[in-house]
């Protein structure tokens, strides 16, 4: 079947926009071709430095003829209704079809040539393309990321003729700007297009460019006994900067190795698009770099600047930097960075005993944690915040524990980031994130929908991972929210408006939601998290252990059947509660004519209560679930043999009390009413 090949050839497309553009082109082409009534076998897009390409295989030559039946008025309807229907359909009365006393219009439409539909579709796509940033050029009104030079559009071997803002379609493309022949390349289909471009030093597939860079770079390093430092982000970026990437191993002045390796790597990556190279014999960076030919460096002087700032910063020190923080506003309502540092330090000292950290070290690390924001190096390379603070703390004679805490206190910064485990680091990292989260909640700057300008969801996730990964036992409300809230309340613009109880309630709900998301990503059901949170516990480690035990229990036959029994009992009790208070008092056994199943369940509930309470005291949640499992058979037998709503009031009250006890015992483990099933 026919194939469509489209290439939009322009000046250089920013690398960061290319893959998004390929996805947008795929989406827009799929939507518009489908809306035009077309079907296809495969649709693929490619993006590169100067071109967006679309290939659609298996398109028909034309859309099929169609018939559409439109229901009209009844045959007996007034003439005015019939006349209106005829005007709408453009038919005469004789052309209508009558069926079961109702008139129908059968409207036929001829299929359209696919080439005509493609011309319309391409015009729509180009004019509506959602570039993050676009521009106009010349005297035209068309907007594109960079000026369009050519539009290649071939369907079934022939050019699809159209014109967009003075740019006429053709079957011609161009090879590499410098390495290619310079002659226009006329193509007939995708295979011809790809082959001719490759002969003219253009790889249209980003995956091919990426592989070429990686293989040749590793080979160039290996030839000198060196190893390429992996950097997937830079690899993706460079693959979008050169159509025929050619890696070259270069040498740099060994004096730069006196700088911290992170400084060297960042300077090369951000400003020169170079890959760092490691010398395995020396367990450090080599005085080399890997550059891809035809990729332009943005500022080769940054490495020299880094050396200057490294030397100058060591002449200044933490006291001077911290003094500067007094003049830097963190937020108009939350004070300066210096005030924030004082809050973090006080909170880190309180948290330290809970995480096994030395309180003095935690406080000291917190007081140093933001100082590097005023340093020359971080001013030039903001990505190095924390990292440089760690180096400077070590140079200032502070212990490894303090220096590491300064370096790593921003962690974890995302779901893929590592979680610190050193106690001092954990204390400072928790204090830093709690101050951020509680502070912005206190001034009503909470996340809404997809908007989270202060990254509070990320801060909450970081707190959760720090607590759970390090098995930290604390009360979120008493040990985390309360001291952070007390510190925030001292800010002049916060104190007058702060409702501490309401704030802590909001924070608890927010953390419950974030924990639900975290556990759901790990495969846990959201309703189980809700069922455990409903108990009012705010020890995250205990909550997660309980959820895991509950999930394992409900995966068994006993768990699933007991849940069904719970819901049946709960429904009965809920119906009775609407009429008034449930009967109170002890469940009676040995009543006249009492069914054996009733007495058996009463004894089983008593035994389960004791076993569950004992298990929960030691946080043996698996044992608590085992105790509940023992109720499964007695509950099933009870509902099988006993009529709860007996005509005899004493029997009815006793059975309602018994079901209430079943609900209460199970409710010690979780709120089973919130569990689906």
The residue ranges of every structural domain in the chain are 3-62+114-199, 66-109, 206-305, 318-523, 557-674
Inter-CA distances, 652 with 159, 378, 562, Å? 85, 75, 22
User: What's the whole-number mean pLDDT along residues 661-666?
Assistant: 92
Which tens digits make up the pLDDT trace of 638-648?
A: 899 888 888 88
Same fold, 3-62+114-199 and 66-109: yes
Q: Where are the beta strands (DSSP E) in 126-182?
A: 148-155, 158-159, 163-164, 167-170, 172-173
Which tens digits make up the pLDDT trace of 615-640?
A: 999 999 999 999 999 999 999 998 99
Inter-CA distances, 16 with 49, 246, 293, 298, 428, Å? 10, 20, 19, 15, 34
Helix H or strand E encompassing 9: strand 3-10
Which tens digits make up the pLDDT trace of 360-402?
A: 999 999 999 999 999 999 999 999 999 999 999 999 999 999 9
What's the CA gap between 108 and 95, in Å, rounded? 12
SS3 content of the chain, % helix, strand, coil (to 5): 55, 15, 30
- Residue where the block lists tokens 């001719």: 196
DSSP for 522-571, please give it: TT--HHHHHHHHTTT---HHHHHHHHHHHHHHHTSHHHHHHHHHHHHHHH
Average model confidence (pLDDT) for the chain? 92
What's the CA gap between 298 and 300, in Å, rounded? 7
CATH code given to domain 557-674:
1.10.730.10
Would you state the pLDDT for residue 83? 86
Quick check: 70 and 89 in contact, CB under 8 A?
Answer: yes
Would you state the pLDDT for residue 499? 75
Phi, psi of 606 (to 5 degrees): -60, -45
List alpha helices for 369-450, DSSP H: 376-380, 387-395, 400-408, 423-442
Q: Where are the beta strands (DSSP E) in 329-402?
A: 329-331, 335-336
- Nearest-5° angle of CA 271, CA 277, CA 281? 150
Helix H or strand E encompassing 355: helix 337-355
Q: Identify the three-state secondary structure at position 335.
A: strand
Would you state the pLDDT for residue 69? 83
Contact residues for 350 (Cβ-Cβ < 8 A; gap 6+): 479, 483
Which tens digits make up the pLDDT trace of 127-173?
A: 999 999 999 998 889 999 999 999 999 999 999 999 999 999 999 99
Give 416: exposed, middle or buried? Use CB within 10 Å, 0-12, 13-18, 19+: exposed
What's the CA gap between 401 and 407, in Å, rounded? 10
| Residue 479 CB neighbours (<10 A) | 19
Residue 425 in tokens:
């680091």
DSSP for 92-139, please give it: -GGG-EEETTEEEEEEEE---BHHHHHHHHHHHHHHH---SS-B--TT
What's the CA gap between 572 and 551, in Å, rounded? 25
Which region holds residue 446: left if phi is over 0, alpha if psi is between -120 and 50, else beta?
A: beta
Would you state the pLDDT for residue 493? 66
Inter-CA distances, 415 with 76, 425, 451, 518, Å? 68, 18, 18, 9
Distance of CA 469 to the CA centre of its chain: 20
Query: Given the DSSP bridges, would you call strands 148-155 and 167-170 parallel, antiparallel or unpaired?
Result: parallel
What pTM, to 2 d.p., does this model score?
Answer: 0.79
Phi, psi of 416 (to 5 degrees): -95, -5
Quick check: 435 and 340 in contact, CB under 8 A?
Answer: yes
**CATH value of 3-62+114-199 in 3.30.780, 3.30.70, 2.70.98, 1.20.1440:** 3.30.70
Lowest mean pLDDT among 68-72, 351-355, 493-497: 493-497
**Crossing angle between the packed helical segments 337-355 and 359-368, to the nearest 10 degrees:** 150
| Residue 471 CB neighbours (<10 A) | 11
Would you state the pLDDT for residue 81? 84
Quick check: 594 and 617 in contact, CB under 8 A?
Answer: no
CA-wise closest residue to 570 among 639, 514, 617: 639
What's the CA gap between 23 and 35, in Å, rounded? 18
pLDDT at 307 over 80: yes
Inter-CA distances, 3 with 7, 40, 52, 99, 126, Å? 13, 9, 17, 43, 20
Q: Where are the beta strands (DSSP E) in 221-320?
A: 227-228, 246-251, 275-279, 284-293
Would you state the pLDDT for residue 47? 98
| Fold of the domain spanning 66-109 | Alpha-Beta Plaits (3.30.70)
Phi, psi of 84 (to 5 degrees): -65, -40
Whether residue 412 is preceded by a cis peptide bond, meaning omega within 30 degrees of 0, is: yes
- Sign of the Cα torsion 440, 445, 447, 453 reads negative
pLDDT band at 80 (very low <50, low <70, confident <90, very high): confident
Contact residues for 393 (Cβ-Cβ < 8 A; gap 6+): 318, 365, 368, 402, 403, 406, 407
Size of the chain, expressed as the number of residues it contains: 677
What's the CA gap between 347 and 325, in Å, rounded? 19
Would you state the pLDDT for residue 672? 93
Domain 318-523 architecture: Orthogonal Bundle (1.10)
What is the percentage of the chain residues whose pLDDT exceeds 90? Answer: 71
Lowest mean pLDDT among 103-117, 139-153, 198-212: 103-117
pLDDT at 304 over 80: no
What's the CA gap between 476 and 505, in Å, rounded? 11
CA-wise closest residue to 528 among 409, 673, 660, 402: 673
């Amino acid at each position: 079947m026919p194939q469509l090949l489209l290439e939009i050839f322009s000046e250089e497309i920013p690398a960061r926009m290319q893959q998004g553009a390929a996805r947008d082109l795929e989406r827009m082409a799929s939507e518009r071709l489908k809306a035009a009534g077309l079907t296809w076998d495969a649709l693929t897009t490619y993006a590169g430095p100067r071109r967006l390409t679309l290939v659609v295989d298996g398109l028909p030559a034309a859309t099929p003829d169609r018939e559409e039946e439109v229901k009209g008025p009844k045959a007996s309807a007034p003439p005015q209704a019939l006349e209106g229907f005829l005007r709408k359909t453009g038919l005469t009365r004789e052309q209508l079809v009558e069926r079961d006393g109702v008139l129908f219009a059968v409207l036929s439409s001829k299929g359209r040539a696919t080439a005509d539909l493609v011309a319309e579709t391409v015009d729509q796509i180009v004019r509506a393309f959602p570039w993050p940033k676009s521009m106009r050029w010349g005297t035209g009104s068309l907007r594109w990321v960079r000026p369009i030079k050519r539009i290649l559009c071939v369907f079934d071997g022939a050019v699809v003729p159209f014109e967009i803002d003075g740019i006429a379609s053709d079957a011609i493309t161009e090879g590499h700007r410098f390495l290619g022949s310079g002659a226009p390349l006329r193509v007939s289909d995708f295979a011809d297009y790809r082959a001719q471009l490759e002969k003219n030093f253009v790889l249209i597939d980003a995956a091919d460019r990426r592989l070429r860079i990686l293989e040749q770079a590793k080979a160039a390093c290996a030839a000198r006994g060196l190893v390429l430092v992996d950097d997937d982000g830079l690899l993706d970026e460079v693959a979008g900067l050169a159509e025929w990437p050619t890696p070259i191993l270069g040498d740099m002045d060994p004096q730069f190795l006196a700088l911290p390796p992170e400084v060297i790597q960042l300077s090369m990556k951000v400003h020169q698009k170079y890959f760092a190279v490691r010398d395995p014999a020396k367990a450090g960076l080599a005085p080399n770099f890997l550059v891809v030919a035809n990729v332009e460096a943005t500022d080769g002087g940054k490495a020299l600047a880094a050396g200057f700032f490294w030397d100058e910063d060591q002449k200044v020190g933490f006291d001077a930097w911290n003094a500067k923080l007094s003049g830097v506003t963190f937020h108009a309502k939350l004070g300066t960075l210096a005030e924030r540092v004082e809050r973090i330090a006080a909170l880190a000292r309180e948290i330290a005993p809970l995480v096994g950290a030395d309180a003095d070290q935690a406080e000291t690390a917190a007081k140093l944690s933001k100082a590097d924001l005023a340093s020359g190096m971080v001013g030039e390379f903001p990505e190095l915040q924390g990292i440089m603070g760690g180096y400077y703390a070590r140079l200032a004679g502070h212990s490894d524990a303090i220096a590491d805490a300064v370096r790593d206190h921003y962690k974890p910064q995302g779901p893929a980031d590592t979680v610190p485990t050193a106690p001092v680091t954990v204390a400072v990292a928790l204090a830093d994130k709690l101050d951020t989260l509680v502070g912005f909640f206190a001034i009503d700057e909470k996340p809404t929908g997809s908007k989270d300008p202060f990254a509070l969801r990320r801060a909450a996730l970081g707190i959760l991972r720090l607590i759970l990964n390090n098995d930290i036992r604390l009360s979120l409300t008493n040990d985390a929210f309360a001291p952070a809230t007390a510190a925030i309340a001292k800010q002049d613009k916060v104190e007058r408006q702060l409702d501490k109880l309401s704030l802590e309630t909001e924070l608890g709900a927010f953390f419950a939601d974030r924990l639900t998301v975290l556990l759901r990503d790990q495969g846990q059901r959201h309703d189980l998290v809700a069922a455990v949170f409903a108990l009012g516990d705010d020890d995250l480690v205990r909550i997660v252990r309980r959820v895991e035990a509950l999930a394992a229990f409900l995966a068994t036959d006993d768990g699933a059947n007991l849940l069904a029994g719970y819901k049946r009992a709960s429904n009965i009790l809920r119906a009775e509660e609407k009429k008034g208070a449930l009967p109170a008092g002890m469940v009676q056994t040995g009543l006249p004519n009492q069914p054996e199943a009733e007495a058996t369940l009463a004894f089983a509930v008593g035994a389960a209560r004791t076993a569950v309470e004992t298990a929960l005291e030691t946080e043996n949640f698996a044992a608590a679930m085992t105790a509940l499992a023992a109720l499964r058979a007695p509950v099933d037998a009870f509902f099988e043999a006993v009529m709860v709503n007996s005509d005899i009031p004493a029997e009815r009250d006793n059975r309602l009390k018994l079901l209430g006890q079943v609900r209460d015992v199970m409710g010690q483990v979780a709120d089973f009413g919130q569990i689906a099933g």
